Structure 1
């Protein structure tokens, strides 16, 4: 009965939302963006390459709320990868974490001081149910204190190339909710700051480096400490995941990533969805309601999947027409072919595959004075292909480092052995007389 009542209330709220959605929207009236999104800012990104497909006020510093937990997740996965902690490791709960976890006005699972919890239990309650007490418990386990953990968060953000950001706690709560025990060096009423672009960049790195995050973020519902007196049902706050109990905004292909909601930050959402071999990251920040953030995310995802496609721009073995070789000095051959090492695919607007102009971005460490030096091995990396977009809407990439990292790699098409001293001697003599003849003309 409780489930039916909850679902009935939910559908009533949805009906009310859909009714008011067609009325004038005074708080965010007619935002000047091409998609007309009812949000303070937004961004849409190719999750494979980091290329931006759409953006609106993407650099505005806003409050991400619980989307902050994506950084906590990243540092957790990193700590496990480096064998600093393990999934089955048990940890006790501090007095501070206990106090926070008992506040059911916040998103929480109740934790006991006389119990130990595994890292996996705490992580799942954070990733699925956005449990704040569990998040702080993980921060304390990894860094010794939330203060130290916040330092790690800001350092990692800078390492990722985030701009317009500042972390003051591990959860995304306002520091006022932390019972006067907010991290040292932060103010009592501060809240984390991230732009939509910074949030998408964080999501990009999380998915690239630890794609297993989707195994948990895609779980629609799970019971915490099932079979015990502490059992609690954790309904995923991401209502776009197919199979959630609300079923309001089910969207095929959505399997993450993190919602956020505070009084200061409004309602935000970082979504990721995969369809037709395309994985998209969509960030919507500061809508007026929980439902509206999903409605606006749906519009972003629909725009992506209806207007873009994944295309192979270059096959393996491709070379730029008219520039298929590079000069080689001290080699048995005077030139060597350069080709792409792998096929290169990217999400592009439909019909725009001819709007990308390739050019070589050669590694200055291997190309000296315009030439390569023998000996050279086959498949030796020479650099990459830079792509210049000639279309109308060029939003670039999340960061320059991500752009460079995703350029198609070019390699030598064959081996070039070093010529012996006699060949080099006669070649030098020939070049000397050739130059002499030219100078006498």
Structure 2
């Protein structure tokens, strides 16, 4: 425990050194900062943690973020991701109804697990089951969702592991859909091919990556996670109401401005939370695990002061803003054309620097990124070398017109050819017809083929050149 505390405090000193812009050295530790507004004992410091931003996944702070931990019921977020993905693909909808089975009802009666009262034969919507899986961490609701996507339990867990790889969760292994070892389900649940005693193994960094992709791919999940309470099957014999455990939400004891998610859980190592908040376009994701002692429920309250303090410090220091405007820009002594406005998270008051390589503009002073699967901190650009092109790009209308119709060298050739053909056609109109001398024609003793008049030559040449130009345009923009 002593080693854990020392390592954590050292990492916090580094964290505040990075964040602070006005002081070269920061004497206060995070715990001291937390306890300016709260009262958190040293024994409740997290075992692992990380804070990232939700745009590109830049890491602001981390504490043993790659250390293997028990994912516990935070695993439900992966099940949630797969369900929302199925809804996005049209396989399901939030109003899809699921009829509870006898097996579901039996799981719901296992008192040692987080559950709710599921009744066999009763219909539950996917919307309700998602709320139950995320807020009270209902194991039976999570399994009902999993069975909706895959009838075989083992196949669904395999799907979870495949998605983890896809999302860049390189140190994660799922063994159950809920995070609870299968042996605790008293024979009612056993994924084929997986160890019944195995926990779901992950890291704080992988959990942050999962939360990052969940929020980017399916931001509607926040409609569920921001609720402080909800009721299922209202006005029926089976009505149940649930309260959130996320105390950072509005109206809760540790309400944090902008907080709207995401998930809490606990394991033998302590209490865990993935929290998120958004202010002025900047969204943060915080993962804390192993806080306090799971045998002492009151220590769960330490999650939120620590999370709030970390996020408050970062909101005070960083901002989400436009760092490059669309259009012609002078960057690193080069004139470049950027197609779209570029927004990113940067330190307040700083002047971003960039690297130009190939046709990619990269933010030089970016922080480390959560995963290769996050959006890159870069945009494409085109270097402008000719004065004509520079002058065109300075005129907004012309630049936009060129971008819309995608003018290329082939386009210029086609337009030039078409214009030349039109000139020939116009010239043929104004060339006079010169009649031949009738007396000369009468004196000819043998048939004579008259030369092709210049008027016809110009007309047909012009028409041919014009059609060639039109043909080039058709090939480029239609075919």
Give the shorter-chain TM-score range: 0.7 to 0.9
- Mapped to 1, the partners of 2:3 and 2:256 lie a distance apart of 27
- Report the TM-score, using the length of structure 2 for normalisation: 0.69
Q: Secondary structure of the residue that 1:149 maps to in structure 2? A: helix
Which of residues 238, 251, 258 is equivalent to 1:253?
A: 258
- Mapped to 2, the partners of 1:188 and 1:27 lie a distance apart of 33
**Match of 2:333?**
322
Which of residues 375, 387, 396 is equivalent to 2:368?
A: 396
Alpha-carbon contact 1:173-1:191 (below 8 Å) kept? yes
Aligned-pair distance for 1:175? 3.0
1:48-87 → structure 2 map (5 Å cutoff):
48-87=55-94
CA 357–196 in structure 1, closer or farther in 2 if over 3 Å, else same: same
- Mapped to 2, the partners of 1:401 and 1:114 lie a distance apart of 42
Structure 1 unpaired stretches of 5+: 1-24, 325-337, 363-383, 424-441
Alpha-carbon contact 1:357-1:387 (below 8 Å) kept? yes
- Mapped to 2, the partners of 1:261 and 1:312 lie a distance apart of 39
1:143-154 → structure 2 map (5 Å cutoff):
143-154=150-161
User: Bigger CA drift: 227-236 or 314-323?
Assistant: 314-323
- Mapped to 2, the partners of 1:174 and 1:290 lie a distance apart of 22
Superposed CA offset, 1:327-382 (max 9, x none): xxxxxxxxxxx42222222222223334x3332343xxxxxxxxxxxxxxxxxxxx
User: Bigger CA drift: 279-288 or 309-318?
Assistant: 309-318
CA 228–43 in structure 1, closer or farther in 2 if over 3 Å, else same: same
- Mapped to 2, the partners of 1:64 and 1:296 lie a distance apart of 20
**Match of 1:417?**
409
Aligned-pair distance for 1:200? 0.7
- Mapped to 2, the partners of 1:84 and 1:124 lie a distance apart of 19
- Mapped to 1, the partners of 2:368 and 2:226 lie a distance apart of 29
**Match of 2:318?**
308
**Match of 1:92?**
99
Aligned-pair distance for 1:78? 0.8
Q: Secondary structure of the residue that 1:165 maps to in structure 2? A: coil
Q: Secondary structure of the residue that 2:183 maps to in structure 1? A: helix
Q: Following TM superposition, where does structure 1 have runs of at least 4 consecutive aligned residues deviating by more than 3 angstroms?
A: 25-28, 411-414
Name the structure with the higher helix share. 2
- Mapped to 2, the partners of 1:168 and 1:151 lie a distance apart of 8
- Mapped to 1, the partners of 2:303 and 2:232 lie a distance apart of 27
Alpha-carbon contact 2:326-2:341 (below 8 Å) kept? yes
1:279 aligns with 2:253: no
Which of residues 123, 134, 142 is equivalent to 1:135?
A: 142
**Match of 1:357?**
354
- Mapped to 2, the partners of 1:148 and 1:237 lie a distance apart of 31
May I ask how many residue pairs the two structures share in their alignment?
A: 354
Q: Secondary structure of the residue that 1:29 maps to in structure 2? A: helix
CA 122–420 in structure 1, closer or farther in 2 if over 3 Å, else same: closer
Which of residues 340, 350, 363 is equivalent to 1:387?
A: 363
- Mapped to 2, the partners of 1:61 and 1:361 lie a distance apart of 39
Q: Which of the pair has the greater relative contact order for Cα pairs under 8 Å at 6+ separation?
A: 1
**Match of 1:163?**
170
Structure 2 unpaired stretches of 5+: 16-29, 32-44, 293-298, 384-398, 417-479
Superposed CA offset, 1:395-418 (max 9, x none): 4111224253x4223258653323
**Match of 1:297?**
307
